[in-house]
Amino acid sequence: MTQIEDLRGYHDGLAEGELRGQYCTPCDRYQWPPRPACAGCRSFDVDWVRLPPTASLHTWTVVARTKLPGFEDKVPYAVGVLEYTDARIRLVGHLDAEPDGLRVGDEFAWSVEPSADGSPQPRWRPAGTGKAA
């Protein structure tokens, strides 16, 4: 399985407006990053499932300068590590929140929106602010 094939379920989910992660049925375990087989039991019985609508902020950094298309006018902006505690996985994502107001443990909700190039990307906003999945 190639790297692109490893991410097919993730990208298919984004195209359908969902944020997905892998789940192994035999050992009842989520995994991220995606792999062809479960990192715990080595089973190939892994499926792509919709992730819960909210995750908590584990840590973050603030981007002060960028040449990334579509983000030049957004600096400073925060990139966070979002944790699904029950699933025991963490994802990295762009936080649509003021960096100075962030606190570890803050709840964020995802939505899928078009990026600068039109491709669907997850966007994380403070939970309870509206536009969430």
What's the pLDDT tens digit per position in 20-63?
999 999 999 999 999 999 999 999 999 999 999 999 999 999 99
| Three-state helix/strand/coil letters over 50-75 | ECCCEEEEEEEEEECCCCCCCCHHHC
Q: How many domains does the chain have?
A: 2
Range of the domain at 128: 52-133
Residues 16 and 61 in one domain: no
Residues 46 and 57 in one domain: no
Residues 87 and 30 in one domain: no
Residues 70 and 132 in one domain: yes
Residues 61 and 36 in one domain: no
Q: Is the peptide bond before 33 cis (omega within 30 degrees of 0)?
A: yes
**Tokens, residue 30:** 């989520």
Whether residue 1 is predicted with pLDDT greater than 50 in this model: the reply is no
Last residue of a domain, one of 51, 72, 90: 51
Give dist(CA 42, CA 12) in Å, integer.
24
